[in-house]
Chain A
Amino acid sequence: MAAASPAQQKTEHPKPRRNVELILLLIALTIGIGAQVLVGITLEDTIDQQYWIEGAIQAGLALAFHIALRVRAKYADPFILPIVVTLNGLGIAMIHRLDFTDRYAGAEVADRQLLWTAISMGAAILLLTLLKDHRKLRQLTYISLVLSVILLFLPIVPGLGQDIQGAQVWINIGGMSFQPGELAKITLAIFFAGFLANNRDLILLAGKKIGRMTFPRIQDLAPLFFAWLLALGVLIVQNDLGNALMFFGLFVAVIYVATSRISWVVIGFLFVAAGALLAYQFVWHARNRFDIWLNAFDDEIYEQAFGSHQLVQGLFGLAHGGLTGTGLGSGSPDIVALANSDMIIVAFGEELGFIGLAAMLVLYLILFSRYMRAGLGTRDHFGKLLAVAFAVVLVLQVFVVVGGITRVIPMSGLVSPFLAAGGSALLANWLIVALVLLISHAARRPIVVGPMLNTTGEGASGTEDPLRIKEGGGAK
């Protein structure tokens, strides 16, 4: 029986599946580059060398990433990269299309987006190569907290910060604006995951029982609440409601996953309700957003400055698109303000129609499920919580953006991941992709689980450390 075991385990080894990734990647690149060329054809731009150079850059970057995965993380999830490349390519194509309109004439936002894509993918490859094992990040738990504080506070440092449209979230370095808060998504996720992985048992076991719910002791939760209050405080000062919502959602989701106590979700919703009420009472910005949301079609609100013009025109745009859309380049998405960043989903809804937009939302859904799958598969608590945290970050961004433009919830300034113009968000999301790929690599790679074969020596089972296992090492 024991003799048959190793052979049996060998057949069960997960396959790297990099070839599947390559095929999907080719489809993804065809979509992204094809969309861009299609924009050019429709708008009767000459399809010159520029198009082919830009396409080649995108293809080169995607293939470089693919090769980096082959070398560094052979067992990483094969679906994440193609999905992200598709979304990123479609984003560039739409931004390129909007560059032809009067509103963005001469701005060449698409070139900047391509540049940022290159920077972000380069950074992600670098992270993939240097980090190797996501568990090293666990040592950075408290450093991440400090980093988050610094990143969130940077924009309100006088001289460095920039106020754009009421939200003080940008910093200006050498003419380039950057949103450090986007990177705080990553550092805060690392902190929450690391903290809860270390203190999960304490939070679960110690505490007072009131009725059917168990409340944790204050001292166990103090650091978390400190982090939460800080993030919230900074964001209210900076007038950035979308991020406040996202950080809080992240906090509640991760703590729920760590403890599997529904009481956290209940408490979380109460906090959101209280926070929303307070914001409505005291923050003009928030009250304005609520008014727009509730009375979007009111003449007065439609006409006023910072009124519902953007939202209503966005809804009209979606309606104009109908089922199949007007076709890339044939609609008029530029009527909506911020069509290439906050409202880019509307532009897609108008030009690709319900069928196209639904496809993109399904892509987000699959991406979310792949992030969760990485979390489910990996064996260490920290990796699980980190992958879940990133999945939540992704899904909350999409929910807040799509919910905002479709009038399900009040609009707030988040951007759709990978699509919208904006370098810092792109960089943060690509770094998240690199980390999730590392986690999924750790989850899927074969490990030594041969009972009695290796109990205490190098690579002993029960304390699997992927770094210690030689390539191709199975149960031998």
Chain B
Amino acid sequence: MSELAITVLQFGLLLLLWILILSIIAAQGRDMMVSKRSRTRASAQQAAPQPAPAEAGGTPATVHHSGQTQRPRPRRLVVSEGPLVGTEVELGSAPIMLGRAQECTVVLEDDYASGKHARLFPQGSRWFLEDLGSTNGTFLGEEQLTRASTVEPGDRIRIGKTVLELRT
């Protein structure tokens, strides 16, 4: 084969390598923007069933949305008393499982807590707390939980010797 043809092929190989790289980058799209995506998804789920979050899509917010953003949205779950005092968990859009079992989101090192003790989950812009049939019960303020109820920032969630709070 002529030298020219070989040179063309060699350059073709280099070109193809970069084509591969560019197509990978093009196909990735916004996949690498992790923090932004997860933040917008969290707000989308908390605020309203609205596909495009207001700040990204630029679409006018629905009545739901504008009505609910007034209330400060809890962002953190903080342990305020008990063995794990000071621990913080960022609240996203996923439910949070509390208990002693290793697979829980917040693993409580508390002898009075059950394996899967209670669950915090978002609904709209609010967070709900629900007891999962624990042995010693879950207390919201002074009352023992009997069914899922809303938790406002500052409410004391007591599980065994541990007290948790939502903070904005």
Known interface pairs A201-B84, A373-B32; A356-B17 also in contact (CB < 8 Å): yes
Known interface pairs A1-B48, A42-B6, A463-B97; A82-B20 also in contact (CB < 8 Å): yes
Restricting to A86-122, which residues have a CB under 8 Å from any CB of B?
Answer: 86
Report if A462 contacts B (CB, 8 A).
yes
Task: Compute how far the CA of A328 lies from the CA of B41 in the bound complex, rounded to whole angstroms.
Answer: 48
The proximity string for B residues 15-46 relative to A, scoring 1 for CB distances below 8 Å and 0 otherwise, is 01111110111011001101000000100000
How many A-B Cβ pairs are below 8 Å?
A: 134
Task: Compute how far the CA of A325 lies from the CA of B103 in the bound complex, rounded to whole angstroms.
Answer: 53
**In the bound complex, do residue A328 and residue B132 qualify as a contact, i.e. CB atoms below 8 Å apart?**
no
- Output the residue of B1, B12, B21, B130 with the most chain A CB within 10 A: B21
Report if A408 contacts B (CB, 8 A).
no
Which interface class (under 10, 10 to 19, 20 to 34, 35 or more) fits B? 35 or more
CB distance from A405 to the nearest CB of B (A): 20
Report if B156 contacts A (CB, 8 A).
no
CB distance from B13 to the nearest CB of A (A): 6
Known interface pairs A4-B49, A35-B13; A462-B133 also in contact (CB < 8 Å): no
**Number of A residues with CB within 8 Å of any CB on chain B:** 56
Task: Compute how far the CA of A433 lies from the CA of B25 in the bound complex, rounded to whole angstroms.
Answer: 19
Closest residue of B by beta carbon distance from A352: B14
Within 8 Å by CB of A456, from B64, B102, B133, lies: B133
CB distance from A104 to the nearest CB of B (A): 22
Task: Compute how far the CA of A34 lies from the CA of B28 in the bound complex, rounded to whole angstroms.
Answer: 25
**What are 22 inter-chain pairs, A to B, with CB distance below 8 A?**
A8-B49, A8-B51, A12-B51, A31-B16, A34-B13, A38-B9, A42-B6, A201-B87, A205-B86, A324-B11, A324-B14, A327-B6, A356-B17, A359-B18, A363-B21, A366-B21, A452-B128, A456-B132, A461-B94, A462-B96, A462-B97, A462-B119
Which residues on A are within 8 Å of B, measured CB to CB?
Answer: 1-2, 4-5, 7-8, 11-12, 17, 20, 23-24, 27-28, 30-31, 34-35, 38, 41-42, 78-79, 82-83, 86, 198, 201, 205, 324-325, 327-328, 352-353, 355-356, 359-360, 362-363, 366, 369, 373, 376-377, 379-380, 449, 451-452, 455-456, 461-463
Which residues on B are within 8 Å of A, measured CB to CB?
Answer: 1, 6-7, 9-14, 16-21, 23-25, 27-28, 31-32, 34, 41, 48-51, 64, 84, 86-87, 93-97, 101-105, 107, 109, 116, 119, 121-124, 128, 130, 132-133, 148
